[in-house]
Structure 1
Amino acid sequence: MIESVVVLAAGENRRMGAVTGPKALLPLRPDDPAGPTFLSRNLELFRAIGTERVFLVVGSANRAAFEALADDLVELVVIDSGQGTTGSSVSMLAGLQSLLRWRPHGARTLVTDADVVYERLLMDHVRALDGSQLLTIDRVNGDGEEVRVYGRSADEPVLIGKGLDSGMTRDLELLGESLGLILLDAAGTVSAADVTRWIVGEPPAVRPYGFGGRLSEHEEVWQYLFTLGRLPAAQLPGSLLFSECDFPADYQHVQDVLFPAILERDAMAFTR
């Protein structure tokens, strides 16, 4: 069971051009602006699998846009948008700290970006996994924003990041594209919070010690957990429908092609 989910939705949407507002709240159907959004779709899936709590991390500048979503499932976790540019690790720390106030010894938790969409079957694969796992998918597309994972084996991932060239990854196995979905067991949530706090600090009481400091992206956390041997990788089938949304072209593809295909796959799975 996935007891809780930390959703990272505090990004400022700088790369989406004329598309305005939080990406998580963009509609998935071009002809239905009041229909499902990235976030509402994901919340629907989390409810369906019995998730007890969702920690939705948002920036204070966009708080009003998300407030209507707070309910018995969703707890709004607000970080200060006025603190200057920060990396996603700051958001993740806020979400994990809220989780640990709810369950001090941790909980089986999914950490996810907000701007992802996937078929229901993908979540069935995730629920079947044991322990902590960074999720990759068995395909790569060469996109400059693609986060790849390399290792000596799935049990020993070594590198995660964008733009990793062949010189850096020599003698390592390509484990696939990171889905932006990380499954943590109870102990893993505590470890991830400890590592993230060390990286980004909690000013003014705790200074950041990580290389990226408060500009760190959450992939840096996973890199440290790889090094500590606390986060293996699980590869999901490349046939699963999944996409993140970084640029307007990604969003157009999701609306025109991917989401209709996802709905068709979901309907087929439901009728089996």
Structure 2
Amino acid sequence: MQPDHCVCRALILAAGRGRRMGAEAPPKALLSFGGKSLLARHLTILDACGVHQVAITIGYRAPDLRNEVARHERGGSVVLIENPSFRDGSIVSLWHGRDVLRSGMPILLMDADVLYDRRVAMRLLASSHKNVFLLDRAIEPGEEPVKLCIDNGRIVDFHKRPQIDHQWHGESVGFFRFSPSIAAELADRVEGYVNAGQTHLEYEEPIRDMVLAHGGRDFGFEDISDLPWIEIDFPEDVQRAETAVLPNLIA
């Protein structure tokens, strides 16, 4: 049974254009599976898990995203944060959400372009770790997946091209739960990068900085290899989502 209310806020990053999906593609958060957009699925799952405060960064085709949120009836509040610089790296979207990170509440940070089972969010919320990454051991080879690197049960690196020796790694799902203090630290690190003009970076860079600065001690992970999910990066991911993931979802 899920709680009626979870004392945390979700910050969903949905501003990007998704250039690899093609010039005329809609925002990836609006891709529909089983008659329901990824964004609507996020909101439904968060509602079911008791997360009733949600902020969403929007940018590319922002009116379409606003309309989609307006169509979705839910019990909690949704705040839309516009990122006019959505062509820059995703670190800029996180910078626009810095007040959410500094809200004094635990934060769920979530990529919008993921089709996933409700149990993925439940496992993130139920974790005994205060600061949690999710990983899948079934990782595809190559540089594209962001890798969460583990050594002796501890997170030691977080990067597409890891630089630190480790025993094994899995693919990051792009969902995190951070304590209020770590979320605020993340906001500070993001602000430092943006103030230095490094707006081309992805949001994983300041998260990696925190992991290295803390020696991985304050971070844990949950393995969701047994649950269906997929990140939509390329047109072929849509087909895989429809045939291999959607039929297996509890959402």
Q: TM-score range by the shorter chain?
A: 0.7 to 0.9
> Is residue 228 of structure 1 aligned with residue 213 of structure 2?
yes
Distance 1:151 1:126 in 2: 18
Once residues 179 and 2 of structure 1 are traced to their aligned partners in structure 2, the CA distance between those partners, rounded to angstroms, is 22
Partners of 1:18 and 1:154 lie apart in 2 by: 42
Partner of residue 252, structure 1: 239
Structure 1's 86 and 18: CA in aligned 2 closer, same or farther, altered over 3 A? closer
Give, as a single letter, the amino acid of the residue that structure 2 aligns with 1:158: V
Distance 2:203 2:158 in 1: 11
For 1:52 and 1:79, the matched residues in 2 are separated by: 22
Report whether the alignment pairs 1:25 with 2:23.
Answer: no
Q: Deviations over 1:135-186 (max 9, x none)?
A: 222321225421112243443x22222244xxx454x122311110111111
* Superposed CA RMSD: 2.1
Q: Give the drift of 1:98.
A: 3.9
Which whole-Å CA distance do the structure 2 matches of 1:38 and 1:2 have between them? 23
Distance 1:75 1:188, change over 3 A: same
Report what 1:32 is aligned to. Answer: none
Q: What is the TM-score normalised by the length of structure 1?
A: 0.80
Q: 1:2 to 1:256 in 2, by over 3 A?
A: farther
Q: Secondary structure at the match of 2:58?
A: strand
Larger radius of gyration: 1
| 1:122 alignment partner in structure 2 | 120
Unaligned runs of 5+ in 1: 30-34, 202-206, 268-272
Q: How many residues matched?
A: 238
Contact kept? 2:134, 2:224, Cα under 8 Å = no
1:132 aligns with 2:117: no
Q: Residue in 2 aligned with 1:78?
A: 82
Identical aligned residues as a percent: 27
Shift of 1:19: 5.8
Deviation at 1:2, TM superposition (A): 5.2
Preserved contact between residue 55 and residue 99 of structure 1 (Cα < 8 Å)? no
Counterpart CA distance in 2 for 1:153 and 1:5 is 30
- For residues 1-272 of structure 1, the aligned pairs below 5 Å read 1=6, 3-17=8-22, 20-29=25-34, 35-59=35-59, 61-68=60-67, 69=69, 72-81=76-85, 85-100=87-102, 103=103, 106-129=104-127, 130-142=129-141, 144-155=143-154, 157-164=155-162, 168-170=163-165, 172-201=166-195, 207-208=196-197, 213-229=198-214, 231-262=218-249, 266=250
Q: Which amino acid aligns with 1:150?
A: C
**Which amino acid is the alignment partner of residue 77 of structure 1?**
I
> Structure 2, unaligned stretches of length 5 or more?
1-5
Measured in 2, the distance between the counterparts of 1:143 and 1:8 equals 24
Q: Structure 2: how far apart are the matches of 1:151 and 1:255?
A: 31
Contact 1:136 1:236 in 2 (8 A): yes
Question: Is the Cα contact below 8 Å between 1:6 and 1:55 reproduced in 2?
Answer: yes
